[in-house]
Amino acid sequence: MIESKREDHRKLALALVQEILPHTGKAIRVGITGAPGVGKSLTIDTLGTQLTAQGRKVAVLAVDPSSVRTGGAILGDKTRMVRLANDPNAFVRPSPAAGTLGGVAANTREAMLICEAAGFDVVLVETVGIGQSETAVADMTNFFLVLVLPGAGDQLQGLKKGVVELADMIAVNKADGDNVKAATAAAAEYRAALQILSPRSANWLPPVITYSALTGSGIAELWAQVVLHRERLSADGELAARRREQQIKWMWAMVEQRLFGRLHSSAAIKAKLPEIETAVAKGELSPALAAAEIIAMIGLGGSTSHNR
């Protein structure tokens, strides 16, 4: 329902989210990102299986690249998380990114709340791995995990991407077999590189660990760091303060989403947009004035008359 674009479904979804709000906020929310091929899905499958074996209920919101033809999720992640997809204590939901910036689906936040209200105490959000704009996931989770590969290049190159600056931990995957030495060296390089960055929290210095999603080695240590981070930030109220800030950011993100949605849902506005675009392309109308006219049509600004 919350992923539906039908207006009647949207109204029901809004009412539902408001109703369940008192039953949310208790789960550990972990955002997991990394370049394609780093092993995000296998990491989640291995980690999630270990957590359900400990009695936890794990929800995975895996944001798939969208199908160009249908706009729907390709569902590749669910096929790669074979154990979790068949685990009665786990819920795996692939959702299409559908062009949404930030590497997360438009309704990922709402889906996360529904999972929490349903009793899942761990929510893992896997992003599509699209680089700098993916930092949006840090604004909806408690712990931001960045996965990297051994020998993937100069660590300073990675620091140019905003995702690393927001990382609560960097984990070097594929530390198995002949890769152990390279993974250890890569971890040392990332630790050195992180020294030049100001930590995101005064209570937490992002650790860099090595692990293997294939063998499961290091997964327990990875999760121990997530729990330790939660304990430290909860002790002085930082975690609660961060969640309050996230709620405000969520509100404004929804405002922007709704306003943009009106551009595509109004027949009158859609009919006028090609004319405005043509005028801008021909140099007959400045982009600034065109933007003001579009905003006025949505009903947020005064009239902007011009001659074309």
Range of weakest confidence among 81-95, 111-125, 148-162, 243-257: 148-162
pLDDT tops 80 at residue 303: no
With respect to residue 117, please indicate whether it lies within any of the assigned structural domains: yes
What is the overall mean pLDDT for the chain? Answer: 83
Is residue 168 a part of any domain in this protein? Answer: yes
pTM above 0.75, yes or no: yes
Q: pLDDT tens digits for 110-143?
A: 899 999 999 999 999 988 665 544 667 788 899 9
Evaluate whether residue 269 is within a structural domain.
no
Residue 34 lies in a domain: yes
- Identify whether 289 is part of a domain: no
Whether residue 113 is contained in a domain is answered as: yes
The number of distinct structural domains making up the chain is 1
**Where residue 159 sits, what CATH number does that domain have?**
3.40.50.300
**Residue range 279-286: average pLDDT?**
94
pLDDT band at 76 (very low <50, low <70, confident <90, very high): very low
Per residue in 19-71, pLDDT (tens digit) is: 999 999 899 999 998 888 889 999 999 999 999 999 999 999 986 544 333 34
- Provide the token pair at 286: 């400045």
Burial (CB < 10 A; 0-12, 13-18, 19+), residue 250, is middle
Is pLDDT of 269 > 50? yes
| In-domain check, residue 297 | no
**pLDDT, tens digit, 9 for 90 and up, residues 159-203:** 445 677 788 999 999 999 999 999 999 999 888 888 877 778 888
Going by pLDDT thresholds of 50, 70 and 90, the confidence category of residue 209 is very high
Long-range contacts of 77-80 (CB under 8 A, 24+ apart): 77/41, 77/126, 80/41, 80/42, 80/45
Give pLDDT, residue 232: 94
| Any domain includes 24 | yes
Domain that holds residue 100: 7-237
| pLDDT-above-90 percentage for the chain | 48
